[in-house]
Amino acid sequence: QSSVTLWGRINTTVESQKVGAGDRKVVVANNASRLGFKGQEDLGGGLKASFALEHGLNSDNGAATGDFWNREASVQLSGAFGAVRLGRWTPGSYFATADYISNHNHDTGSSSDELYSFATFKQKNKVGYFTPTVGGFSGEFAVGAGEGAEPRSLDISGNYDQGPLHLGAGFSKVGSAKQFAVRGLYELGSIVLGAYVQREDMGTGANDSRTIARVSAMYVMGASEFHLNVGGSKAGGSIGSNGAKQYTLGYNYNLSKRTKVYGFYTAIDSTAAKSAGDFSSLAAGIRHNF
Amino acid sequence: QSSVTLWGRINTTVESQKVGAGDRKVVVANNASRLGFKGQEDLGGGLKASFALEHGLNSDNGAATGDFWNREASVQLSGAFGAVRLGRWTPGSYFATADYISNHNHDTGSSSDELYSFATFKQKNKVGYFTPTVGGFSGEFAVGAGEGAEPRSLDISGNYDQGPLHLGAGFSKVGSAKQFAVRGLYELGSIVLGAYVQREDMGTGANDSRTIARVSAMYVMGASEFHLNVGGSKAGGSIGSNGAKQYTLGYNYNLSKRTKVYGFYTAIDSTAAKSAGDFSSLAAGIRHNF
Amino acid sequence: QSSVTLWGRINTTVESQKVGAGDRKVVVANNASRLGFKGQEDLGGGLKASFALEHGLNSDNGAATGDFWNREASVQLSGAFGAVRLGRWTPGSYFATADYISNHNHDTGSSSDELYSFATFKQKNKVGYFTPTVGGFSGEFAVGAGEGAEPRSLDISGNYDQGPLHLGAGFSKVGSAKQFAVRGLYELGSIVLGAYVQREDMGTGANDSRTIARVSAMYVMGASEFHLNVGGSKAGGSIGSNGAKQYTLGYNYNLSKRTKVYGFYTAIDSTAAKSAGDFSSLAAGIRHNF
């Protein structure tokens, strides 16, 4: 037996939610809790083999989510050339943009980014190449097999880190649907500012495109973090595809590097008729990494 | 990575069962087998963060049960004040009563207590407060969110341990259904005697209440344990809600602290017409903790 | 807590597949990836208790397979007398024959043996006895409970190992369906030759029997392995029950004892009309054990 690392995160909130025109209700909510197994083998000459299995679970009711290893199931060979990976994992185009600036609770649960376009978010049956990091730059190039049942997918992303400046971009395409996004994040001492702009083309014909934008700000004071996220997208329709504003105010208190207690207020103001797509939540929770 | 404890129990029996008026049949049966992950972090100042994930599995056929983490999925902060927990776990009112006196195979499998009222047994979407143990007393107070879909639930329980005397009580309520139970257990050297009485009100109108009672006795002789459980409930109807007698005779041989081989005979004599609710089983099995 | 061993295998290929008369397509495929937990306790006097939980997972898309612990869920007592096991596991009759000679990628994925008869392959609700190994011989005798719903099953197998010679046989029976197979494998220095012959009787009436045979050859040169498997079965019908030829050419390069990269070409030529049962695949992949 080799050395396998078991890790994960339980992130649970108690929330007072208002969904659409419904009554306000109390909800115990999961915020992307997970359990993972990973390991690495040194093959000599700089070559390494590794695997990762990551399971998403509902920390509020104990349910496993759809595909059990729905966050990652991969095997990889890496070396000076970079890395080649096979299997299922989260698109790099998402990590490089929307996820990167979500400092508050990392784009999970009811305060997650409802506006970012997931139309081309492909996780399964992928082959990926990851560049080594050169001069602060790293990139990912992934192709998802359609397996005769759906269109081939493509996901290309890059990240650039130099001192306090962090830039990223992502492009993805599934059939005729595609999206492109750029992101920046800057550290000004105890202040961190981030933003992304995304252009989506759902490839379904007329009125199938939109622009999405979001800014985030974090102020760190000792163990406390103060967060503000504001995003918006024009054009009518459902939240899913377009037309809404969203903002989140958050406060985190870090009990340790692994554990925090936090609270937030998040609200989505949809352009849908009669507040059908509106949502707001006042929440308090615990996030524990292990 | 932190230190995660991986633990569990495989508990499997081979049984000759007779269900209702059907033919006697041979069954390989699971007895609440489980696999768990847990960990704790010391946050300083007596404060601790911890998590628990506990999965119930069928050791006879390898199947996972409904919600995967159906035994526990929780995160907790604890200190001198007691503990606050969020998520899913087994109600304290059950552990304090029916489970506590089930020394034989701990209320699992075909010899489990079919008469105890599970009408208000709520596991999901809970917020709980656990008192510290003071003078032998400890208590749990848990509220389950209805999330706009079902009634709010309440579960209150307490345990008192002083030398050979162990007392417990539990109250739970989901909407208009409620139950209350008290339990006692006494250690007389190699003899252990226990009993509980439960009052159930299903909140469905007329004839919706019943009283359930059970006594248990254990005699320990070296590595051997001899068990006798007898329970009963009056009123007509199905076993599920009322009207049956149940008894179990059991023998355990402890091969170690972690492993036992055992046998039992259990029988349910239901008041349902034509033995529809009757059940009996002669069983032999292995329980291995890890 | 005891010492639990966490182990597994991620085995993923990228394949160009042609199924029946369909178009050739690119597929990312799982090859029997798994995650297992196992442990053993020394009970003294040569007696041991152990458990095994083994989960099959799809390394291409992250999905769990049907019954979660579908590869094994068992508890066992072992000693000088052999071992007694309860629960779910893979039939010994399969390991002793078809699996044993599948040196190339161990009978997994699209190059697995499509001709071996799985009609009596029973995994669940079993009680098994395993003999100790005496003079190179070991045997397994397992009975599967029908539990009043299906016929009782029987699985008997034996293995004999003496120097370079490895023999095996398996017999299994579920109701009126049965199969018997014998297998041999011989190591000639860097060449390994294997073969099995199986006789199946599906117990469904006329034309329900067939003979299946397969030979395998492996040539080892340093870290390289060259593989050839050829199998066949007479009689018309579907691949599932009879009538096809199958061959596989494989090349493995062992990066370490735990990790290999490999490629293969496999083809099934079915006797079904209009190539309905035909299949071929050209594949490249990574297998990483942990």
Please check the confidence at residue B105 and state whether its pLDDT lies above 60: yes
Segment 260-279 of chain A within 8 Å of chain B by CB: 261
Please check the confidence at residue A1 and state whether its pLDDT lies above 50: no
Rounded CA-CA distance A3/A26 in Å is 42
Collect all residues of chain A within an 8 Å Cβ-Cβ radius of residue C58.
69, 73
Please tell us whether the domain made up of B5-289 is placed in CATH 2.40.160.10.
Answer: yes
Q: Look at residue C106 and give its three-state secondary structure.
A: helix
Q: Is A63 on the interface with C (CB under 8 A)?
A: no
Please check the confidence at residue B120 and state whether its pLDDT lies above 70: yes
* Average pLDDT estimate for A93-122: 94
Q: Which CATH class is domain C14-289?
A: mainly beta
pLDDT at position B192 is 98
Query: Is residue B145 exposed (0-12), middle (13-18) or buried (19+ Cβ within 10 Å)?
Result: buried
pLDDT at position B46 is 96
B237 pLDDT band, cuts 50/70/90, is very low
Task: With CA atoms as reference, report the closest residue to C123 among C158, C155, C170.
Answer: C155
Least confident of A118-122, B178-182, B280-284, C96-100: A118-122
- Determine the residue type at C213: A
A242 pLDDT band, cuts 50/70/90, is low
Tokens coding A238: 């459902």
Task: For chain C, list residues with pLDDT below 50.
Answer: 1, 236-238
Considering only alpha carbons, which residue of chain C is nearest residue A2?
Answer: C290
User: Which CATH number, 1.10.3720.10, 3.40.50.1580, 2.60.40.10, 2.40.160.10, labels domain A13-289?
Assistant: 2.40.160.10
* Average pLDDT estimate for B155-178: 97
Q: Which residue has the tokens 């579920």?
A: C174
**Domain segments of chain A as ranges:** 13-289
Rounded CA-CA distance A281/A105 in Å is 14
Rounded CA-CA distance A139/A136 in Å is 10
**Distance between A257 CA and the closest CA of chain B, angstroms:** 10
Q: Which chains touch A (3 or more CB pairs under 8 A)?
A: B, C
What pLDDT digit, counting tens, does each position of B13-54 carry? 999 999 998 999 999 999 999 999 999 999 999 999 999 999
pLDDT at position C274 is 64
Q: Are B231 and B115 in contact (CB under 8 A)?
A: yes
What pLDDT digit, counting tens, does each position of B174-202 carry? 999 999 999 999 999 999 999 999 999 98
Q: Which of A1, A75, A148 sits opposite C12 (nearest CB)?
A: A75
Rounded CA-CA distance A247/A228 in Å is 7
Which one is predicted more confidently, B7 or C242? Answer: B7
Longest dimension (CA), chain C: 63
Q: Is C253 on the interface with A (CB under 8 A)?
A: no
CA distances from A48 to A6, A75, A83 (A): 19, 11, 9
DSSP assignments along B44-71, one per residue: ETTEEEEEEEEEEE-TTT-PBPSSTT-S
pLDDT at position A107 is 94
pLDDT at position B234 is 79
Tokens coding A81: 């050339």
pLDDT at position C238 is 46
Please check the confidence at residue A233 and state whether its pLDDT lies above 70: yes
Rounded CA-CA distance A265/A248 in Å is 6
pLDDT at position C237 is 44
B273 pLDDT band, cuts 50/70/90, is low
pLDDT at position B65 is 84
Q: Which of A74-88, A198-212, C207-221 has the highest mean pLDDT?
A: A74-88
Residues 6 or more apart whose CB falls under 8 angstroms from that of C66 comprise none
* Contact check, Cβ <8 Å, B62/C124: yes
* Count of Cβ atoms closer than 10 Å to residue B162 Cβ: 10
**Which bin fits B277, alpha (ψ -120 to 50), beta or left (φ > 0)?**
alpha
pLDDT at position A238 is 46
Task: Calculate the average pLDDT of chain A.
Answer: 93
pLDDT at position A234 is 79
Rounded CA-CA distance C267/C278 in Å is 8
Collect all residues of chain A within an 8 Å Cβ-Cβ radius of residue C290.
1-2, 4, 39, 41, 51
Q: Look at residue A215 and give its three-state secondary structure.
A: strand
**What is the SS3 string spanning A35-57?**
EEEEEEEEEECCEEEEEEEEEEE
pLDDT at position B207 is 74
Which one is predicted more confidently, C225 or B272? Answer: C225
Collect all residues of chain C within an 8 Å Cβ-Cβ radius of residue A88.
59-62
Which one is predicted more confidently, A172 or A3? Answer: A172
Tokens coding B10: 């495989």
ipTM of the prediction: 0.95
pLDDT at position B1 is 43
